[in-house]
Structure 1
Amino acid sequence: MGGVGRVRYVDFLRGVAIVMVVLGHWVITALVRAPDGTITAPELLATVGWTQWLTLLFQIMPVFFLAGGYAAAGSWRRHREAGGGAAGWIRGRAVRLLLPAAAYVAIAVACLAVSRAAGVDPGLLGMVGWALAMQFWFLPVYLIVSALTPWLYAAHRRWGLAAAAASAVLAVAVDLVDLADRGSWIGAANHVLVWAVAYQLGFAWEDGRLAARRPLLWAVAGAGAAAFAALVAYGPFPVSLILVSTEEVSNTNPPSLAMLAWVLAQCALCLLAAPAMERALRAEWLWRLVRPLGRVSMTLYLWHMVPVLAAAAAFYLTDLAPEPVVGSGAWWAWRPVWIAVLALFLVGLLTALVPVERLLLRVGGAVRPQAEVRQPYAVLAGLAGLACAVWALTVWAGEGLARTGAPAGWTVAGFAAGTALVLLPPARAAVAPEAAGTG
């Protein structure tokens, strides 16, 4: 639901969220060349404590889940109205994420394997493999939340905002248990529950339940911000909204009460800004500036750390880069130059990836992501494939692509097999005529 301005604002939020994640990673990446020529990457958030406050600016993934929920609600409703089922819709969403991820993984794993065979230091490759996979945490979470959409949306249609509130209450309970028993397996549930709150708020935005309730949105924004401040000031939670190795409690691994408060505040502010932004984005000149972000957002997200590695090789291994003390005034003065250099590398990388993008478009058409999945064996194969892909991506998000200096064969095989099962086109007996739409 919603007009042209609404749809454009959703695309704007998704594009801006990805750009802010990219900029955030680039800003906090610090490289140091040792006298023996090796390069290390000190953790800026741990060594320069005040920089943790920067994560309040750059952690805007709640916005992506909010916009994703809006888009998924419309897509799933159209699919159902056209006679489609859950299995076909879930497969279509998974294909759109796994296809570009598979291309990225294939190229990255091949480069790491060749480098290891050529005798490159395993420790260096381990660091490179971690940098290449640090963004993977998002993919398994989004795949799971997307797969739950038919049931989350059914709950929303029946109970409205109470469904999102129930997810929030469950997330609070899970985090309290996790705080009492640090490292408990139950804490992992919040990787889905917390982000599902933003996703479900996207449902309420799409069907108009929140558009006119500005007093409620102001109350949620204020309460979320106040709760975050109190939990950081008086609770065990750090201010950082991304993982910091020196902190005993993390706001992201798993997502915490403080992260939930931030999710609520950020989503409410985005919805409060919606009317003004929708009006502004009706201007064609502004939309022409924003629209390209949507086309390249997944590519930006997957590939944005490759320019960092290229810059490290070009300027740090050659000792050409100035190296003031990390966190010093001179170091920060060089940050704009660092960002500009990485942006130039990224533009070159995006140009080089054009043939890959074209190939993915052809493959995407060949696997028929719009095809309906009816046969029980096809449904089971798709679920098994999705589970394998989620497992492999989760492992890589935690360990990197080459923890021991070379890609782990079982993980690569699991991801390859899982992706192949998801991409395998079902029989041509029935095709759901869902329009492409947004999402």
Structure 2
Amino acid sequence: MLETPATRRPLPGIRRAAARIDAATPPQRDRAVDALRALAILGVVLGHWLVTALVADGGTLYTASPLSHMPWLAPVSWTFQTLAVFFMVGGHVATRSHASARARGGTYGAWLHARLSRLFRPVVAVLTLWTAATLCLLLGGASLTTVHTLLKLALSPLWFLLVFAALTAATPLLARLSPLWPLAVVLHVDLVRFGLGGPSWLGWVNLAAGWLVPYTLGAAWTRGELERPRAGWILLTGGAVTTAVLIGWAGYPASMVGVPGATVSNLNPPTLAAVTFGLAQCGAALLLRDRLRAAMRRPVAWAAVALVNLSAMTVFLWHQTALMATTATGLLAGRLPGLHTVPDGLEWVAARLLWLPVFGLVLGVCWAAFHGFEQGIRREGGRRSRVIRVHHRSQPAEAKAARGA
């Protein structure tokens, strides 16, 4: 096909926009941090889209997982269960931000309000839409099983926000806490639960302690304790070997996500295996920092990562809704493979891969409709990208304060 001015125009336009974002970014900004956060969020999204099936059975929808029928696909969960990396990056950013706020004379209340408002503004839109959707479903005669299934999927990301918000609020107390302390708590909880036949409810202690491990690892990163490659290799090899031992000889599940019908879930609540696996992932993330910094020197790559970070909570909160909207709309055409069928074979996997771009398009529609809740109200008369405004507010003193924290 002959190239015309019309077909050549979009690419230079994208490059010019990317160049403006790149130029507006302070040189002292560690772009690897943003890249790791974007990869962690996208990993969770893709993981959910791959292992969550909504099976149509008559007029009812229920959840199923290909991991129930094909347990040998467990390595998929090893690749896409990336929440530990997100918590590590969150701990690093929060402790650095708090140190910067203190250096500027800011109060804890103002700092916490700024951080939590960014987390919870998008929640308002999700709750509003799903309240209306629930009423419509019930009035339309949908079964309670279907409504429960959809609500559980739509609102399940909120547990993550509540835990993350609690850890963020405790950042001043956690800034110098060693990750070994919460890791010891997780170890003893599992020892009592599984080794001594203790109560199952005790595992919910790990909902805080388990995610506190990577969060305080991020604080150690801020303190400069993880800069050498040796730290990354210790976490990667130690975490991987320990996880393999726990799965192979201690009876922990191989899947790092919950599997319907399984007696034990590594994630709900977190087990020792999930935590040690998270340490291995964090080690790999630390070892990738230099390569990510080099990759982020490319303006287009950096612009993409910056935009994902600006809408990280919107993407996270709405990705399950995108899956469900696609599934519900697809029912108009009947039971479609990879969308409404039981995930019990490689045919389902192949069909599901073909649906991923559709989920992405629907998520893009959700983003267009709701990302404004995350970014907040623009300043009066301000038309610049929030990427540019946020980066201009970053001062060299922030990096200095963070290094000294």
TM-score interval (norm. to shorter): 0.7 to 0.9
1:272–1:331 Cα change, 3 Å: same
For residues 117-148 of structure 1, give each alpha carbon's deviation from its aligned partner in whole angstroms, at most 9, with x where no partner exists. Answer: 34333222111111211222211110111111
Give the corresponding residue for 2:211.
195
Counterpart selection for 2:135 from 85, 95, 113: 113
TM-score by length of 2: 0.81
**Residue of 140, 153, 164 corresponding to 1:131:** 153
CA RMSD for the aligned pairs? 2.6
**1:347 aligned partner:** 364
Please state how far the C-alpha of 1:19 moved relative to its aligned partner: 0.8
- The superposition leaves residues 297-354 of structure 1 with CA deviations (integer Å, 9 ceiling, x where unpaired) of 1101000111222222221243062466623232222122111111121222222335
Q: Secondary structure at the match of 1:194?
A: helix
Q: Distance in 1 between matches of 2:78 and 2:354?
A: 23
- Aligned mate of 1:262, from 277, 300, 303: 277
How many residue pairs were aligned? 357
- For residue 23 of structure 1, the aligned residue among 37, 46, 59 is 46
After superposition, give the CA deviation of every residue in 1:169-190 in whole Å (9 maximum; x if it has no partner): 2221222123234544432221
Among 171, 186, 195, the alignment partner of 1:171 is: 186
Matches of 2:293 and 2:102 in 1, distance apart? 28
Is residue 2:118 matched to residue 1:96? yes
Instruction: Give, in whole Å, the separation in 1 of the partners of 2:374 and 2:248.
Output: 47
Match of 1:64 in 2: 86
Gaps of 5+ in 2: 1-25, 380-392
- Shift of residue 68 of structure 1? 0.6
Pairing 1:231–2:254 present: no
Residue 56 to residue 331, structure 1, CA distance change in 2 (3 Å): same
Q: Is the 8 A contact 2:236 2:283 kept in 1?
A: yes
List per-residue Cα deviations over 1:168-212 (Å, max 9, x = no partner). Answer: 122212221232345444322211112111111112222322112
Q: Which amino acid aligns with 1:299?
A: T
Pick the aligned partner of 2:70 from 42, 48, 66: 48
> Residue 435 of structure 1: CA displacement?
6.3
Q: Classify 1:63/1:347 alpha carbon distance in 2 versus 1 (closer, same or farther; 3 Å).
A: same
The one of 264, 271, 281 equivalent to 1:249 is 264
CA spacing shift, 1:110–1:314, aligned 2, 3 Å: closer
CA distance in 2, matches of 1:288, 1:84: 30
SS state of the match for residue 237, structure 1?
A: coil
Native 8 Å contact 1:220 1:265 kept in 2:
yes
Identity across the alignment (%)? 32
Q: TM-score, normalized by length of structure 1? A: 0.75
Evaluate the alpha carbon distance shift between residue 73 and residue 346 of structure 1 in structure 2; reply closer, same or farther with a 3 A threshold.
same
Secondary structure of 2:377's counterpart equals helix
Q: Which residue of 2 aligns with 1:7?
A: 30
- 8 Å CA contact retained: 1:4, 1:282: no
Secondary structure of 2:333's counterpart equals coil
Structure 1 gaps, min length 5: 157-162, 364-433
Shift of 1:283: 2.6
Q: Which among 313, 316, 320 is matched to residue 298 of structure 1?
A: 313
SS in 2 for 1:40: strand
For the residues of structure 2 that align with 1:15 and 1:170, how far apart are their CA atoms? 29
Which residue identity lines up with residue 147 of structure 2 in the other structure? L
Closer, same or farther in 2 for the Cα pair 1:342/1:285, shift >3 Å? closer
Q: SS at the partner of 2:156?
A: helix
